[in-house]
Structure 1
């Protein structure tokens, strides 16, 4: 047999040995017990540090891991819309958080419209889109009024207007208004989202309830809690 034949025979024998080694390694790995830790050497030379196998993940628990899309930003894993369950909203903590319909019927030509970027001119009155609206059922605090708490006077009228503006933050209010812009102020019930504006003002002590209004209990709550004009300047 020539030199070329011996070389080909050696290469063939080496390939068979390599394939046999791979098969033996695969069979050895398959025979390792899953529930027993595999020992791996640690950095300080101790070879007793166990490496736990990953926990078995069933199909119901399988989730896509979070993705790091930037240096300081991690995107949440994608969710399957079929796995999202819609539940009923919780009931409100009190009746003050609900927008109640007006007790007095509105004129037929009045419609509930969204008034953008309202600016409070007093604690129960605001201007928006050329309209002047007074929150019905609530009595605003005069701007020059001073309140006293434990013999300490403070400008509660200005604070009440500032609190109203801070709560609005320029968000649109839905109010019942006539179709045409009125030159004079109109009294109307308004709400911010689902929250009644008059209920918020009176229950926080930044307005008082009219005798014929619906916010008598809200004013009693503010008085008992010493909130707004019934408390201190803090």
Structure 2
């Protein structure tokens, strides 16, 4: 007679037996893998590495070329395309010195040296200056001409195209309008003189001579430092180089 209780117990026993068998087989597999890895490591450590024979290495790598040396005294150790690379021999008797070419522009020229001022000349403040011409003024009983410039006389006239205009008077008026009675700092001798003195002057940090020449109200002297400023004023047709103002 079929007994379900006994049958259930038999199935449980079979399942437990199968689990124990799988666990045992898994453990045996791990042990076998570990033994296999250990054997491989022992074999690799015990066997020396294999290299190709030295003869094969020498045949695979071409030998570097052996340089050719010249053992004669006084000669170079090696010559390579001497007729193409080495310069031809020159004799001192065939060399001729010529004059240097002129500079390509004014930028290549050294500026003219500045004329040293006498040791007793000092910076002096001149108050309420009044322009007497385009580059000259009077202040505190002194007559000063801005050094490095060529003054434009008040009676001078200029021509621009078909127009003729009193550029000297206009230049003096422009100088007075720029001064506005402000004090000028000039390098002057300690004692005053009844004659006009050429001296450099500044209005604040502005060089007076540079302002006059750059705006076309005075010309640069040949020995001065304002030649470039005059060229710019001429090119821009400013001041006396332009139309009536």
TM-score category (smaller protein): 0.5 to 0.7
Q: What is the correspondence of 1:87-106 to structure 2 with a 5 Å cutoff?
A: 103-106=114-117
Q: Whose radius of gyration is greater, 1 or 2? A: 2
Measure, in 1, the Cα distance between the counterparts of 2:213 and 2:155.
19
Residue 189 of structure 1 pairs with residue 200 of structure 2: yes
Q: In the TM superposition, what whole-angstrom CA distance separates every residue of 1:43-70 from its partner, at most 9, and x where no partner exists?
A: xxxxxxxxxxxxxxxxxxxxxxxxxxxx
Q: SS at 1:212's partner residue?
A: coil
Structure 1 residue 150: deviation in Å?
A: 1.4
Aligned to 2:156: 145
Task: Give secondary structure in 2 for the equivalent of 1:104.
Answer: coil
TM-score by length of 1: 0.56
Q: What secondary structure sits across from 1:187 in the alignment?
A: strand
In the TM superposition, residue 142 of structure 1 has moved relative to its aligned partner by: 1.1
Partner SS, residue 116 of structure 2: coil
* TM-score where L is the length of structure 2: 0.53
After TM superposition, the runs of 4+ consecutive aligned structure 1 residues lying more than 2 A away are none
Return the structure number with greater helix share.
2
Q: Which residue of 2 aligns with 1:157?
A: 168
Distance (whole Å) between structure 1 residues aligned to residue 134 and residue 169 of structure 2:
8
Q: Distance in 2 between matches of 1:169 and 1:143?
A: 19
How many Å apart are 1:168 and its aligned residue? 0.2
What stretches of structure 2 of length at least 5 have no aligned partner? 1-112
Q: Which of the two has greater strand per residue? A: 1
Query: Structure 2: how far apart are the matches of 1:121 and 1:190?
Result: 15
CA RMSD of aligned residues (A): 1.0
Q: How many residues align?
A: 133
- Partner residue in 2 for 1:209: 220
The CA distance in 1 between the partners of 2:144 and 2:118, in whole Å, is 16
Unaligned runs of 5+ in 1: 1-101
